[in-house]
Amino acid sequence: MLLLDPRENRLLAALPTSEWERWLPNLEPVELGLGDVLYESGGRQTHVYFPTTAIVSLLYVLENGASAEIAVVGNEGIVGISLFMGGGSTPSRAVVQSSGSGFRMTAHAMKEEFDRAGPVLHLLLRYTQALITQMSQTAVCNRHHTLDQQLCRWLLLSLDRLRDNELSMTQELISNMLGVRREGVTEVALKLQKANLIRYARGRITVLDRAGLEKRSCECYAVVKNEYDRLLPPGATS
């Protein structure tokens, strides 16, 4: 039995008391392992997920199997917005990029809650707007900014969703997320390590200088973070 508090997910923590009491029986604790696929492109979604200590990547997958990350979701949000937005499915794939815990709710229960309207609907719509901003900014960043800047942005977004300053990430996984060659990730990671911004060893990245990463990153990180802060209640973002 997992002894977890759903309110470690900041979106759940933002629920008004009456909604929280109604939601609690419908929240099932789950362990999310590295590489677990929560839903596939075009597949039917049976649950939504609220990560607490895990991070989930939303990936767009091409016909040839190549993929690139379009957004990350951690303890600030929910995985599976197409369930309550009316689409039923999505062309993206949801994969756990950092293992940990979370909670899930059935598709039926989620739809019922959304259809009640009121504060839940408005909270979820504001979160969705913030997520769309992240997706849009990621597309712009991947097109116009250097790999160095992209990696800094990605590390900062991941760091915001973790309890400490260490990420368990292989270079292959990072290259898949950013949609670039692994050699490029290796080169940039070494540059960041030489600048004493990170330490990378055996699939673990430790951030040594967060302020330095923020200075080295492009404006995309700040745009995304500011939008989450603007749209979600205090405490619903890191």
* pLDDT tens by residue, 30-70: 999 988 999 988 888 899 999 999 999 999 887 787 778 89
Q: Please compute the mean of the pLDDT values over residues 90-119 and round it to a whole number.
A: 90
Q: Please compute the mean of the pLDDT values over residues 146-153 and round it to a whole number.
A: 88
Span of 57-71, 119-133, 135-149, 176-190 with lowest mean pLDDT: 176-190
Crossing angle for the helix pair 171-178 and 147-159, to the nearest 10 degrees = 110
pLDDT for position 234: 65
Nearby residues of 181 by Cβ (< 8 Å), 6 or more positions away: 175
238, pLDDT greater than 60: no
pLDDT for position 189: 85
DSSP 163: S
Task: Give the percent of the chain with pLDDT over 70.
Answer: 94
Reported as a pLDDT band with limits 50, 70 and 90, residue 1 is very low
Q: Which long-range contacts (CB under 8 A, 24 or more apart) does 58-66 make?
A: 58/92, 58/93, 58/94, 58/135, 59/92, 59/93, 59/94, 59/95, 59/176, 59/177, 60/91, 60/92, 60/93, 61/91, 61/92, 61/93, 66/179
Q: Please compute the mean of the pLDDT values over residues 163-170 and round it to a whole number.
A: 78
Q: What is the pTM of this model?
A: 0.87
Tokens describing residue 122: 């408005």
15, pLDDT greater than 60: yes
Higher pLDDT, 103 or 68: 103
Class of domain 142-226: mainly alpha
Average model confidence (pLDDT) for the chain? Answer: 87
Class of domain 6-119: mainly beta
Give residue limits of the domains in the chain. Answer: 6-119, 142-226
Decide whether 6-119 matches 142-226 in CATH topology. Answer: no
In the chain, where does DSSP find H-type helix?
10-13, 17-23, 82-85, 107-115, 118-144, 147-159, 171-178, 182-194, 210-216, 220-231
Q: Please compute the mean of the pLDDT values over residues 187-213 and round it to a whole number.
A: 87
Reported as a pLDDT band with limits 50, 70 and 90, residue 12 is very high
pLDDT for position 11: 92
pLDDT for position 100: 92
In the chain, the amino acid numbered 213 is: L
236, pLDDT greater than 50: no
Which range, 162-166, 198-202, 214-218, has the best average confidence (pLDDT)? 214-218
Spatial contact of 126 and 236, defined as CB atoms under 8 Å apart: no
pLDDT for position 173: 73
Reported as a pLDDT band with limits 50, 70 and 90, residue 126 is very high
